Structure 1
Amino acid sequence: MILPLNIAALPLPKTLATTTIQHDFPNVLSDVYSGNVPAENIWLSFCKKGEHSVHSKLAASLHDTDRERVVLSGSSTVSLDRQNQYKYRARWGFTSSTVISPSLIVADPAHSNEQQPHQITAFAISSSPDLIATGLADGTLSLYRRPPVPQPRTPYPSLPVHSTTPLATGTAHKSTISALQFMRCSQGGMIVASAGADFAVHLTPVHEDVSTAPLAPTSSFTAHTRPVTALAPLAFHPSALLSGARDGALRLWDTYSGAQAGAWEAGADVGALIEDGRVTWAALADGHAEAFDIRARGAVARFRAGDAALSAIDVCVTGRNVVAGGEDGVVAVFDVRTMGQGSSEGGAPTLARWQRTGGVVEGVAFASGSKIVIGGADGLPYVIRFGEEFGVDADLVFGDVEAVRGMHVDGKDVWLAGDGGVLRKYEL
């Protein structure tokens, strides 16, 4: 039985400040430290909607006596202090934020040319074996060996770019790949499930010796009538795969038999899916989040989560909190375990609601340590500190005018990809 909708107005989102920094500043500091240049400037900016922005240049040079330290000098109200090889503390006035640069950048030269980059629209990470699957806007699916994070050899390492080529590649879809998932197949191997704007879901086997065969789908599901936007493997059965699309439908597929096992109508077009072992949450275009219990064959909860179409959703490991982001740039966290308590409308209590630049939210994910990672079309990914003390915990240094299109978070490890055709790994 679906709970009643909460029709009460959502609280106004809190506006948070944004810290931006020259995306290749680690290279500048590395050049200064190694003596390649005597000094160089980097820029640092702080802005908040409705308030005056702060833009500053910091001069990087070696310390006069301690030649193992790079000094950053500039405005008396703006500073940048090194915490470790990848973390810096940016301060302006009485406000501060941690700035984290990537600890690994995975770049395929064929896709990451700065003049003509290939947009990575979806990717997936496998830890056993260590593989990365990427999907491009032109429908290309590629598999790469996941490289280890290099150990920095200096206090000021340059951006750690790992140049690589695909183990295997192929044209999986006729147009944009919108979602990717690694799954185990019946023979004990692996498959890559892919969804696309061509209305299709494909299953592509990953061979033991990946490089011996080109990637080619062996099964396809084509019942959706609009672009497929999301995939969610289901914990209760290793062969169960749920898909959501802009036709407002959820479809359950048995990847072993290649048959459709069920179909449901969502309340609106589906923007994203996430499964927590109990229910599957769908982010919908009407601003609602809807929970489906596939074993019970239907929706079990629905609540208003935003004023605009939802484009991203995640649930914490306990299943208690859901975070959702929308096309208006607003992100909110809800306590779904107390839905309906103290509210005749049956809504989920809003624990926090905020926004920064207004760009479309492309991904949200809970991380360890009561943190939430957010990335979007503005290309300014960041981390929220959620709990007793709420606020921006860190800003992740991304590309140069490059949107975030995909996200994978595992504990303190964060992977992001986007319009520049590279993957970046961060350590929170």
Structure 2
Amino acid sequence: MSSSNSLTLPVITVQHTYPDVIHEVKQGIIPSEKFWVSCYKIGEQSFHGKVYVELDEVNRDLVVLKPEEEGLEVQAEGKCAYKISCKSLGIALTKVVSSIQNYCDPERSNSRRPQRITAFDISPDSSRFATGYLDGTVLLYPTTPLPSSLSPLPQSITTAKGRTISRPHLSSVISLKFFPSSRVLLSSGLDFSLNILPADLPDFSATETRVTPARTLRAHTRSVTSTAIISVGRNIVSSSLDSTIKLWDVSSGSVITSISSAAPILCMRLGDRMPTPPDGEESPVVVQNDLEVPETQSKVVFCGLQNGSYEQLDLGSKRSVYRSSVSSSSPVTSIAYSDSCNLLATGSSTGLVTLYDIRSLDTPLTSFSRTEGGVEDLDFTSTSEEVGLAIATTDGLPYIASIIPEGPGVAAELIGVDCDPVRNIRVRGGEIWSASDDGIVRRYIA
């Protein structure tokens, strides 16, 4: 689906320091203050307004928000979120969420010279997270439990003490992925290699702990763009700009098989093959190797390609089983796959997000965009009744799109970044984690 046929979603931006304004008024530090709100939609006149913040005249524990411009509405939604609507652009009440924790390493997130986070992952048990950088460094930090009482002001956490540091790559770290145990980390980089790193929580008695890779894997001939872990981690998968997917045996460090794609691979997602093939398709003939774990036979990989298409590779049959048409010259820079919901989402370098039902990949379900900022990362959110898509973008305006039962639309704006690109986003239960070019990791409850 081309961008000309896609839906255009609106954007609500709020002064990124608005939680500080509300906090200072509530604490009596200042009697009142204002913060700005701007609303945009491509092809329509933008809206700019201000919200006046003061304490209620009767209940001095209650903060009152009063829009100064007609047509702008603001409602409180708990302690860390608000809902904003804009009549002139037809924007219904939309949740605006500030982060509840900001993790800052003073050496990496200095506001004058921040070091861009190029790769990020949060462990499956949410006890630790890892960040990668342009210089090939990987840092591991413990997370901090959520405060018992949430506040509009994000909890700022200094992460330098107790961190674990390694430098497994000669240049930029491209991807990080925790093993299911949360105690091992897989990294890939611009130097064509993959590294398996110990990820035990650091000793708090030391300022930092240094570790070296337990194993280095080399076989790709260009940058390794993404990785995935099968089952407990005996087999792993990697994608590369050399246009191949490689299946690895971790214990020996050897390549089990290599599957070629139609073009350089920019992103990849692993998932389960559909139990029943779509009409007209035969079940794949499984080609098994002694080094493969049984779970590998049922896995498929969706790859986002540099030529603007995507491809499905089957790890059981060791072959390509589907290749989309090239509908745009824009590279597919991000991809997400939910086998439980039968959904695939792709994001492009020009901001286009396209959604597919994996049972009928030839026809997109829908396509949407907000700005021309590239889509850097995607991850599905889901509850028993709703399915959404967390979206990280180069314009510094991350958001959650609603998909099911109503969509596409903007379910929540994730506020806190001041124009810096957000390149990584992860969903863990009801939480959203993001990492951006300002060197800060943010934790949201959406």
Same fold by TM-score, threshold 0.5 exceeded? Answer: yes
The structural deviation recorded for 1:381 is: 0.7
Q: 1:66 aligns with which of 49, 56, 59?
A: 59
Instruction: For 1:206 and 1:416, locate their aligned partners in 2 and report how far apart those are by CA, in whole Å.
Output: 20
Once the 2 structures are TM-superposed, how far is the Cα of residue 79 of structure 1 from its aligned partner? 2.5
Q: Pairwise mapping of residues 10-409 of structure 1 onto structure 2 (< 5 A)?
A: 12-73=5-66, 74-93=68-87, 94-96=90-92, 97-128=94-125, 130-152=127-149, 157-165=152-160, 166-183=162-179, 190-207=183-200, 214-235=210-231, 238-278=233-273, 279-304=300-325, 307=328, 308-318=330-340, 320-339=342-361, 347=362, 349-368=363-382, 369-390=386-407, 391-409=409-427
**Equivalent residue letter for 1:264:** I
Please list every run of 5 or more consecutive structure 2 residues that lacks an aligned counterpart in the other structure: 274-299
| Cα deviation, residue 76, structure 1 | 1.9
Moved more, 56-65 or 377-386: 56-65
If asked which structure has higher relative contact order (CA below 8 Å, sep 6+), I would say: 1
Q: Which letter maps to 2:410? A: V
Moved more, 105-114 or 303-312: 303-312
Structure 1 stretches lacking a partner, 5+ long: 1-7, 340-346
Q: Offset at 1:48?
A: 0.7
Instruction: Give the SS at the match of 1:30.
Output: helix
Contact 1:21 1:43 in 2 (8 A): yes
Distance 2:152 2:201 in 1: 36
**Is the Cα–Cα contact under 8 Å of residues 321 and 335 in structure 1 kept in the other structure?**
yes
Residues 299/163 of structure 1: CA separation in 2 closer, same or farther (3 Å cut): same
Residue type of the alignment partner of 2:435: A
**CA contact under 8 A between 1:11 and 1:353: conserved in structure 2?**
no
User: Which residue type is aligned with residue 419 of structure 2?
Assistant: V
Question: What's the CA shift for 1:190?
Answer: 3.4
Name the SS for the 1:338 alignment partner. Answer: coil
Shift in CA distance, 234/189, structure 1 to aligned 2, threshold 3 Å: closer
| 1:222-270 deviations in Å (ceiling 9; x for gaps) | 22222211111124x7311111111212112211111111112111111
Distance 2:327 2:179 in 1: 32
- Return the alpha-carbon distance in structure 1 between the equivalents of residues 95 and 126 of structure 2: 33
How many Å apart are 1:207 and its aligned residue? 4.5
Query: 1:152 corresponds to which letter in structure 2?
Result: S
| Aligned equivalents of 2:203, 2:308: Cα separation in 1 | 41
Instruction: Please give the secondary structure, in 2, of the residue aligned with 1:36.
Output: coil
CA distance in 1, matches of 2:327, 2:432: 25
What percentage of residue pairs aligned between the two structures are identical? 29
Contact 2:124 2:182 in 1 (8 A): no
Task: Please tell me the residue identity of whatever aligns with 2:31.
Answer: P
Q: Which amino acid aligns with 1:288?
A: S
CA spacing shift, 1:249–1:118, aligned 2, 3 Å: same
Map of 1:344 onto structure 2: none
Assess if the C-alpha contact under 8 Å between 2:267 and 2:304 holds in 1.
yes
Change over 3 Å in CA distance of 1:45–1:180 after alignment to 2: same
| CA shift digits 1:46-93 (9 cap, x unpaired) | 001111100111121112222122222211211322111111011111
Number of positions where the alignment pairs a residue of Structure 1 with one of Structure 2: 407
2:350–2:372 contact (8 Å) kept in structure 1 = yes
What is the Cα deviation at residue 128 of structure 1? 4.2
In the TM superposition, residue 129 of structure 1 has moved relative to its aligned partner by 7.5
- Find the aligned partners of 1:329 and 1:81 in 2 and give their Cα distance: 29
Which residue is equivalent to 2:277? none
Residue 275 to residue 189, structure 1, CA distance change in 2 (3 Å): closer
Q: Which amino acid aligns with 2:115?
A: H
Cα shift at 1:167: 2.7
- Measured against aligned partners, the alpha-carbon deviations of 1:120-167 in whole angstroms (never above 9, x if no partner) come to 1111111448221111122111111111122336xx531211122243
Distance 1:129 1:90, change over 3 A: closer
Structure 2 match to 1:414: 432
Alignment deviations for residues 284-305 of structure 1 (CA, whole Å, 9 cap, x no partner)? 1122221111121111122247
How far the C-alpha of 1:411 sits from its partner, in A, is 3.1
- Name the CA distance, whole Å, in 2 between partners of 1:261 and 1:295: 12
